[in-house]
Structure 1
Amino acid sequence: MALVRREAARAASASGDRLRVACRDVIVGSGDALGVRSAVAGLADVTADLAGSGAALRELWRDPATTDVLVNGPTEVWVDRGEGLRRVELDVGDVRRLATRLAAAAGQRLDDAAPVADGRLPDGVRLHAVLAPIAAGGACVSLRRHVTRALGLAEWHASGGLGPLAHEVLGALVDCRANVLVSGGTGTGKTTLLAAMLSRAPGTERIVCIEEARELAPRHPHVVHLQARAANVQGAGGVSLTDLVRAAMRMRPDRLVLGECRGAEVREVLLALNTGHDGGMATVHANAAPDVPARLQALGSLAGMTPAAVAVQAVSAFDAVVHVVRRGGVRLVEQIAVLDLDEGRLRARLALVRPTGAGDLVPSAAWDVLARRLERGAT
């Protein structure tokens, strides 16, 4: 079996059924006397090493509730099954070796010259790995699994994430081709909600999704995915999100979608959504909808935009801000706001809020503004 693992590297570039065939060939060609049980176990281990999260972690992913696995050391493994992080008793062995093997499976380089890797494994798991000395305590691996089947707004409604009014409003935002910014913290379901909203778009529309690593999976027949690429160790070959937003504008998108605004690309998104690209969507990290203006201005400063420029562009670009939270293991739409100017300063006024303990959103101060936008878009 040691020979199997050494030779299995030649199958690292395979995917799907080809990966399994390659792994089978490695096992059969190893020359070892393997029974059926041993061969099946070996195939599972090699496949997990090359296309999944490693044999040592394979058992954790068998639980469909597992969304995140964090490896901080050989025996320090944390798992999130929807109720927050919990430490588990597991020895994954050499974390650096695990990290480099997984990075190779994701098509990324990870070594002393390139100590940080971010990518997606062939089985769909998102990988982020950091080596020492960047990670002071030793190599760290972060794995996140996104739903393989895109949820729709109806599923969000059925699970309690959306009440009747919120369900109707989000559907109306999609139908009237409003530009929507989804905000929330890490792991709150921003990408999942974005995919659910995009799944409602008419099948005749062309959706172009731009991401650092592919995560959006809307249930839609016409989706084009563009993925950023980091520069190599010589500093060449990089393709940034800013580059991709510019490229996407020339691809005849009916809906231009940025998986996450986290840098200077916010300028290109604001410009795109102000030049006739209706129905666009994006996500941004924020603690609450009223905090989104400060976040946009901070990102805009990275692109050399003044707060006044960001404010004017954002008010015109986005019709609504939808804020999601995670509470008690359930992802909830908690606020819907509209952006406007207050004496030249950008602000987010709440149109709908979820009171404590309530199952649905209720109208707030800016509800009439949002309602008019929905009515205008529906005409």
Structure 2
Amino acid sequence: MVASPPWKGDFHNDLNTQLSYWPAYSGNRLAEAKSYTDWLWKIRKKNRDFTKQYFGVDGLNVPGVLTLNGDPMGGWIQYSLSPTIGAWAAQHFYWQWKYSMDKTFLREQAYPYIIESATYLKNITTLKNGLRYLPLSSSPEYNDNSVSAWFDNWTNFDLSLAHFLFQAATEVSTAMGKPQEAQAWLKCKAQLPHYATDKTGLQVAVNLPMKHSHRHMSPYMAIYPLDLLDINNPQEKELIESSLDHIEKLGTRAWVGYSFAWMACLHARAKQGKEAVSNLQKFAQNFCSTNSFHLNGDQKGGQYSDFTYRPFTLEGNFAFAQGIHELLIQSKNNYVEIFPALPAEWATASFKNLRTMGGFIVSAEKKGDKIVMLKITATEDGTFRIFEPKTLMHVSTKKTLQKDNTIQYVKLKKGQTVNLCSL
């Protein structure tokens, strides 16, 4: 008897495919990352037809559960036919462009894909009292397949993806020299409500805080991977920290392997290095087989999770790799941080040839509280902007970097390399 593969052997786009490509961008493996966007591009027409047939509007959305050829496979309808999966898929076109700054890719794939996705989202939402709403919303995989998994107001999962998509549409339109179009998308973003929050931080949905341990970090997408909230912004710092404190208080009994790896990324974005490393260690020690494959369940009899099964899936391992990257380097909204989330006991650390948004290749070494080596190579013309408390200087000339408030920066031409260190 031939055993069926886990979850029908489908392509799951409510996190599994996306997490599997997270480390390819900062890891400087853009060719490998492009295999994902190449596939999404290949099935784009079929996904457009699906969008028109199922949602009844023009534009582009992607089934949450689908075949290699792009056909929807069904399943729990709240997630298999989610209204915002296309927005999450579009992020990878955005990342491929931002990490490469490839103008051809922008023109031929990133711009059309993001704009078609945003067009769909604009068409499927309606305006009420000046604010934009979905007909129905959901949050993977909160309340599983029950009727209560539907919400008549935005979930933070759907809402954060909408904020990201309209923002990305604004940015690619600007890059394509279409200022009026950019303004129209910016107006759509301004019509979205604020996130649902309370004393616990980000909620699942309006008036619904996370009430129990939950495997999917969907309510916290605005922190990571969407980078809509920034720990360096004093107005957002408390919200981020309250959210992560609340997740930890609820415990990990309903988590699976990828939950720990994703949580490590969230902690790293909050500059909580000790907590990030702890989650990475729990993942590696309890949720992987002896050959390192991610098996979803807790392989030590339920030490951290009530899930003790062992289906192999890829996304946990790759999210783990990104968790390590997030300790070392982070690309944020128009700037970079080096060693942003190292545990205090890590007195020394280094990395070579990681990549940032803007198309910069970076190597760095830290000793104590100083960056003793920071090598930056530009793959395209651009300005390298870094958030770093200590003043940086050029190794050869001892000249310090220019400053824009809290950001230090240096302008580089394609192929140019600079070597910096702390003053």
- TM above 0.5, yes or no, is no
- Higher strand proportion, which one? 1
Greater gyration radius: 1
- Higher helix proportion, which one? 2
